Amino acid sequence: NAGVTQTPKFQVLKTGQSMTLQCAQDMNHEYMSWYRQDPGMGLRLIHYSVGAGITDQGEVPNGYNVSRSTTEDFPLRLLSAAPSQTSVYFCASSAKGGTEAFFGQGTRLTVV
Amino acid sequence: EDQVTQSPEALRLQEGESSSLNCSYTVSGLRGLFWYRQDPGKGPEFLFTLYSAGEEKEKERLKATLTKKESFLHITAPKPEDSATYLCAVQQGGKLIFGQGTELSVKP
C-alpha cells in the first residue's frame, strides 16, 4: 500500500516563483490536510478538506491555495513564494474525524 | 481559543529511566486526542487515540492516559530506540490541532 504520497521530496524556489506540492492518497479517505513544520513551532495547519469539493482554512493559510476535485488528490499551491515559506510541508489523510491520520514523508521547501 | 500545549519541550533519559510526557488542551467539542511519534526526516506515525476521560491505552513501553484537561504519555524502562519527537493532537471538527512536541532522547 502506498498510503499518502507527496511529491516532490525537495524543492528550491526563487522568491516570487509559483509551484504546486502534490499529495495523493489511495485509502479512500474523506479528510485531507496540509501542515507546515518549522523548528520550535510544531505542526501548523494550512488548509484542510472534509471531502471532494470542500476546503477550509487552517491556522496559517495566507499565501497558499488548495482545491479538492477528487477524493484522492489534494494539491497545495504557492502563488508567489516568499522566504517565510521555507519549511517542511506534510500532507495527511484520515477516514473521518476522530480517526487516525496518516502522513506523507514530507516536502522540504527552500525559498531563496 | 483551541490550544494544545506539551511539556517538557525536551527530555533526556538514561536507558531504563521511566518518565512521563504531558499534553494539556483546551478545545470545544473534543472528538479525540492523538499521540504520534516522529523520527527525524520522516512524517508523524500514529501511536494512540483516546476519546474519553479515564481511557488508557498501551503499546510496548508506552501508555497513554486521558483526563478532561490533559493527557500523559508514560514511558516505562525506555530504550535508545524510543528516542524521537512525540506529538500530541486534538481533533476539533475537521481539524487536527497539534502541540509543539516533546523531543525525547534516551541514552544507553
pLDDT, tens digit, for every residue of A52-110?
999 999 999 999 999 999 999 999 999 999 999 999 999 999 998 778 999 999 999 99
Domain count, chain B: 1
Torsion on CA atoms B81, A38, B24, B30, rounded to nearest 10: -110
Residue B1 has pLDDT above 80, yes or no: no
Q: Is the dihedral of CA B27, B33, B34, B35 positive or negative?
A: positive
Read off the pLDDT of residues A9-58 as tens digits, 9 standing for 90 and up.
999 999 999 999 999 999 999 999 999 999 878 899 999 999 999 999 99
Sequence-separated (6 or more) residues with CB below 8 Å from residue A63: A78, A79, A80, A82, A85
Q: In this structure, what CATH number is given to the domain that contains residue B11?
A: 2.60.40.10
Residue B29 has pLDDT above 90, yes or no: no
For residue A65, the distance in angstroms to the closest alpha carbon of chain B comes to 17
Q: How far apart, in Å, do the first and last CA atoms of chain B sit?
A: 41
Give residue B31's pLDDT band: very low, low, confident or very high (50, 70, 90).
confident
Contact yes or no for A94/A103 (Cβ under 8 A): no
Average pLDDT, integer, range B40-69: 95
Residue B64 has pLDDT above 80, yes or no: yes
**Does any CB of chain A come closer than 8 Å to the CB of residue B27?**
no
Task: Give the per-residue pLDDT at A1.
Answer: 64
CB nearest to A56's CB, from B91, B94, B100: B94
CB nearest to A31's CB, from B32, B94, B100: B94
Q: Which residue of A has its CA nearest to B95?
A: A48
* Structural domain boundaries, residue B35: 3-107
Read off the pLDDT of residues B83-100 as tens digits, 9 standing for 90 and up.
999 999 998 877 889 999
Contact yes or no for B101/A38 (Cβ under 8 A): no
Residue with cell 475537521: B94
User: A48: which chain B residues are within 8 Å (Cβ-Cβ)?
Assistant: 94-95
In what helix (H) or strand (E) does residue B103 lie, and over which residues does it extend? strand B102-107
Q: Measured between alpha carbons, how far is A96 from A27 in angstroms, rounded to an integer? A: 12
Residue B77 has pLDDT above 70, yes or no: yes
Q: In what order do the strands lie in the sheet with B19-26?
A: B3-7, B19-26, B70-75, B62-66, B56-59
